[in-house]
């Protein structure tokens, strides 16, 4: 798999770190949002990647990541 997406951005005066985990045990990709200063988890989005693999479809995690980041920013803290 290619490099998984990650980024940092500001919301509500806090620096948020967003990154993607490949959960091999569950066959899912998870996007985590944490407060960079406290390392406290704030939110996560998950997609069950194995469901796409069984249909020979490659899931575009970059598009899902971009969507999740924009959604998180729109909700705010």
Q: What is the pLDDT of residue 68?
A: 94
Backbone angles phi, psi at 8, to 5 degrees: -130, 145
**Residues 16-58 pLDDT 10s:** 999 999 988 888 899 999 999 999 999 999 988 777 777 777 7
State whether residue 36 is helix, strand or coil: coil
Q: What is the pLDDT of residue 77?
A: 72
Entry pTM = 0.84
Q: What is the pLDDT of residue 73?
A: 95
Q: Residue 12, Cα to own-chain centre: how many angstroms?
A: 19
Which residue is it, tokens 């909700």?
75
Q: What is the pLDDT of residue 8?
A: 98
């Amino acid at each position: 798999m290619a490099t998984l997406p990650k980024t940092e951005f500001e919301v509500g005066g806090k620096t948020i770190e967003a990154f993607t985990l490949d959960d091999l045990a569950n066959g899912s990709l998870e996007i985590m949002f944490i407060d960079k200063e406290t390392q406290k988890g704030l939110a996560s989005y998950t997609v069950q990647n194995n469901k796409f693999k069984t249909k020979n479809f490659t899931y575009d995690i970059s598009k899902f990541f971009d969507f999740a980041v924009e959604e998180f920013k729109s909700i705010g803290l």
